[in-house]
Amino acid sequence: MLHFSRIAPALLGAGLSLGLATAGYAQTKDLTPKYSNDFLSIGVGARALGMGNVQVSLVNDATAGYWNPAGLLGQKAKYDVVLMHSELFSGIVKNDYAAFAMPLDEKSAIGASLIRVGVDNIADTRALVNEYGQISYDRINYFSVADYALLLSYARKLGNIEGLKLAGNGKIIYRNVGKFANAWGFGIDAGLQYDYKGWRLGLMARDITTTVNAWSINSDEFQGVAAQNDSIPTNSTEITLPRFILGVGRSVKLPGQITALVAVDLEMTTDGRRNTLVSTDAVSIDPKAGVEIGYKDLIYLRGGVSNFQKIDAAKSFDGKGGWRPQPTVGVGVAFSGLRLDLALSRLAVEKVSSQNATNSVIVSLGYGFK
């Protein structure tokens, strides 16, 4: 039998080779801005967000379409639905998510996920003053800036390798900046999970072939209002480089019908040097860790750490530097197929002011239909 220790390095090596080769080519054309399509890095589902976004090896419900589509084969119900809403930065940014998954047969499953991250009701005051020099508030227009993603997932078990599940996503991106600009993007993700003697292992390759966004600019909206030294944007193409997440987890039964699930993920980006624990020009690595304590498969307590960043003491509000993680905590209740999860996450690794810690509450609701 093939083991994950042989499978994962081979797949990861092939994926990294493809990603780095593509990155090198694309960067010579200056098409790969860092953090491209990074709205897809926020995460979905309060269970995952409460565990520090550690899910690649663990996920087994409809949210697998986002975290690792191979996990669609682990869902316990015939049909699974998950809804999530969160408001970030004091409600300025709205983050909404919906997903559905179902098996096709004993060896395959499909899923669909829809994500929207946006800021609404932005005031356009360019016409505030009329031709007579008077302020006219009814001339204010409002617009939204929003990013959308549709993920269509397919997962399948391999009959000749027990415990191995492979899957992929077809991804459609739409980004809109009011009437000023919009972009369409297309990409592919690939994932696997492998269960071996109580260990859960996973590998997710996002934008494995790179995701290309084609921007269309309405240049007429910028005429006469752009600053003297600012150039008017033009139509362009933007490339999102591959990202790889390798994860391992294990569940342990404790006395008193208590279970403990512990997992670690390593997230590797290929868009240049980032502020992570491991940072190079080729690959940056951000480790994450999460834990979930369950009682009678009914009540769950969760915690996690991720997004380790080095803070410059001279630029921090508290005057202290060094490495700081982003902590998260969460709770969940599950009964009769219904799952209600809450998570509390700090959006920044340090306070953005002396009083504000920019905390965010995430709520998600899931239901499995038999």
32 falls in which pLDDT band (50, 70, 90)?
A: confident
Q: Would you state the pLDDT for residue 229?
A: 63
* Percent of the chain residues topping a pLDDT of 70: 84
What's the average model confidence in pLDDT over 124-149?
Answer: 88
Side-chain half-sphere CA neighbours of 319 within 13 A: 0
**pLDDT at residue 148 greater than cutoff 50:** yes
Q: Would you state the pLDDT for residue 351?
A: 54
Say how many domains are in the chain. Answer: 1
Side-chain half-sphere CA neighbours of 221 within 13 A: 13
C-alpha dist (Å) from residue 39 to 42, 90, 147, 268: 6, 17, 7, 17
| Residue 72 per-residue DSSP state | G
What's the average model confidence in pLDDT over 277-283?
Answer: 90
What is the pTM for the complete model shown?
Answer: 0.85
**pLDDT at residue 138 greater than cutoff 90:** no
Convert the pLDDT of each residue in 154-168 to its tens digit.
999 987 788 899 999
* Residues spanned by the domain of 162: 4-369
What's the average model confidence in pLDDT over 20-47?
Answer: 71
Which helix (H) or strand (E) segment holds residue 21: the answer is helix 4-28
Q: What is the CATH number of the domain that holds 128?
A: 2.40.160.40
What's the average model confidence in pLDDT over 197-203?
Answer: 93
Q: Would you state the pLDDT for residue 198?
A: 87
* Percent of the chain residues topping a pLDDT of 90: 57
Q: Both tokens of residue 230?
A: 């600012």
CA 224 to chain centre: 38
What's the average model confidence in pLDDT over 112-129?
Answer: 91
**pLDDT at residue 94 greater than cutoff 60:** yes
Residue 177 has φ and ψ, to the nearest 5°, of: -120, 75
Please give the Cα distance from 104 to 73 (Å, whole number).
Answer: 10
Convert the pLDDT of each residue in 300-358 to its tens digit.
999 999 988 888 776 666 667 788 888 999 999 999 889 999 998 865 555 544 445 55
Please give the Cα distance from 98 to 109 (Å, whole number).
Answer: 17
**pLDDT at residue 223 greater than cutoff 50:** yes
Residue 142 has φ and ψ, to the nearest 5°, of: -125, 145
What's the average model confidence in pLDDT over 255-259?
Answer: 92
Q: Both tokens of residue 243?
A: 């990202």
